[in-house]
Each structure stands twice: as structure tokens, then as C-alpha cells.
């Protein structure tokens, strides 16, 4: 029975998952064990799942969330940005950590989901872990989050670039000619310092 419920939720659209009622979620989770609840959170997406559990406080509560993003650099030294569907801003590919995931697993999964590109853990370089007030984000639906964000760098990938439903557009940009309407300007600045420092070391 529980597997049937999980499969039913798995086939809901993202919008339908976000609109599951609090009492309905209580009924679904009533007899679930920890492993089944973790699986449910993965199907719904952890941040959405956490907010659904809060009931009427879901948009009032400031959520501290962990995730990972990656600067993907092509052979020209340009970086990949995505124009987000939710706020029309240009951001860095990545997303929220699911329960039980390592940050490396998170970024590999998120890059595949959002860009259709395949990357390997051995090719990831951790630039920094960015946290604090610069990581506060307010979304059109009223959600406020503060992110703890490992920022990775990668220049080895395979696959054909494709957008998912979270993106309107994806494009590689010269680091000196980036769009003004950025979602992750703080992370871009961290990357620029990393890049500048490496250029000095290599010259």
C-alpha cells in the first residue's frame, strides 16, 4: 500500500506535489518508517517536503537549506548560466541536497537534471563553501531561504545541453560579459577571485 502511495506521488507534476494538503501529508506519513519518509522527501523534493510538513506556517518559516552549485566552464573559458523559470534571473546550475546525499552526489544529480550534462566526482574541484546573509533568497511564492552552498568548478563534462522545467534558457557567457540580472552574484564573485588567484599562480 505504501509503495502504491509513493508511486502515485512520484507521477504527480511538481505543481501537484507543492499543492499536497498538510492533513493529506499527515495521513500519508502516519504509518511510514524512516526509510519510507526519506524516500517520500526525495520524491517531493526536500525543501518542498519540509514546507509541506509545516502546514499553515510553510511560507512564514525561514528555511535553512543545504545545496550545491557548479561553475561549468567550456573550452573557451566561458561559464554556463541558466535563466530561471521562477524569477527570470540568471543563476548557476545546482540545487538542494536531498536527505542522505553527499554534496558531490547532489551536484552530479542536479547538473544532470537541470542541464542534461554528465559529470564525474573526480573532475569536481571545490572552490569554497559560501554561507551567511549573502545566501538569503526570497522567491515569488513568498518562500524565504538561507542557503549553505558548496561551490564547485568543473571543465570536463559530456552530453547535449538541454533545459528542464526549472530553466527558460541556458547559455555560456564570457566572465567579463555576464548578464546584469543575476540570481547568484555572490557566488560569481567567489568564482572570479578563485579564477584570478589561479591565473596569478600560473603566470
Q: What is the pLDDT of residues 174-202, one digit of tens each?
A: 999 999 999 889 999 999 999 888 766 66
Instruction: Return the pLDDT at 202.
Output: 66
Give the pLDDT mean for 25-29: 94
pLDDT > 70: what percent of the chain? 97
One domain, residues 10 and 82: no
One domain, residues 75 and 102: yes
> Mean pLDDT score of the chain, rounded to an integer?
92
Instruction: Return the pLDDT at 140.
Output: 81
What is the pTM for the complete model shown?
0.86
* Under 8 Å between Cβ of 144 and 137: yes
Give the pLDDT mean for 33-38: 93
Instruction: Return the pLDDT at 107.
Output: 98
Range of the domain at 190: 63-201
- The candidate with the shortest Cα–Cα distance to 194, out of 145, 155, 146, is 155
* Under 8 Å between Cβ of 64 and 182: no
Angle, vertex CA 135, rays to CA 129 and CA 137, nearest 5 = 145
d(CA 82, CA 183): 10
Query: Catalytic residue at 169?
Result: yes
- Looking at 24, 113, 169, 189, which residue is catalytic? 169
pLDDT at 81 over 80: yes
| 60 vs 153, more confident | 153
Q: Can you give the CATH number for the domain in which 98 is found?
A: 3.90.79.10
Q: How many domains does the chain have?
A: 2
pLDDT at 1 over 60: no
One domain, residues 35 and 130: no
pLDDT at 78 over 60: yes
| Measured CA distances, 90 to 40, 73, 151, 155 (Å) | 30, 16, 16, 20
One domain, residues 175 and 113: yes
- The predicted-structure confidence for 129-156, as pLDDT tens digits, reads as follows 999 999 998 888 889 999 999 999 999 9
Domain stops at, among 19, 40, 57: 57
Amino acid at each position: 500500500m505504501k509503495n502504491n502511495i509513493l508511486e502515485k506521488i512520484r507521477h504527480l507534476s511538481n505543481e501537484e506535489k507543492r499543492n499536497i494538503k498538510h492533513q493529506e501529508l499527515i495521513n500519508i506519513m502516519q504509518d511510514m518508517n524512516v526509510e519510507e519518509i526519506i524516500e517520500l522527501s526525495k520524491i517531493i523534493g526536500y525543501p518542498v517536503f519540509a514546507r509541506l510538513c509545516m502546514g499553515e506556517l510553510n511560507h512564514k518559516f525561514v528555511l535553512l537549506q543545504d545545496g550545491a552549485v557548479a561553475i561549468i566552464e567550456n573550452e573557451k573559458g566561458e561559464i554556463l548560466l541558466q535563466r530561471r523559470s521562477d524569477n527570470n534571473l540568471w543563476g548557476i546550475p545546482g540545487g538542494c541536497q536531498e536527505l542522505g546525499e553527499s554534496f558531490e552526489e547532489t551536484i552530479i544529480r542536479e547538473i544532470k537534471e537541470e542541464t542534461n550534462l554528465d559529470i564525474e566526482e573526480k573532475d569536481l574541484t571545490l572552490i569554497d563553501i559560501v554561507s551567511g546573509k549573502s545566501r538569503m533568497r526570497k522567491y515569488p511564492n513568498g518562500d524565504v531561504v538561507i542557503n549553505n552552498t558548496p561551490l564547485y568548478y568543473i571543465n570536463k563534462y559530456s552530453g547535449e545541453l538541454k533545459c528542464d522545467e526549472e530553466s527558460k534558457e541556458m547559455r555560456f557567457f564570457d566572465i567579463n560579459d555576464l548578464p546584469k540580472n543575476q540570481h547568484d552574484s555572490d557566488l560569481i564573485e567567489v568564482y572570479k577571485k578563485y579564477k584570478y588567484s589561479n591565473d596569478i599562480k600560473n603566470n
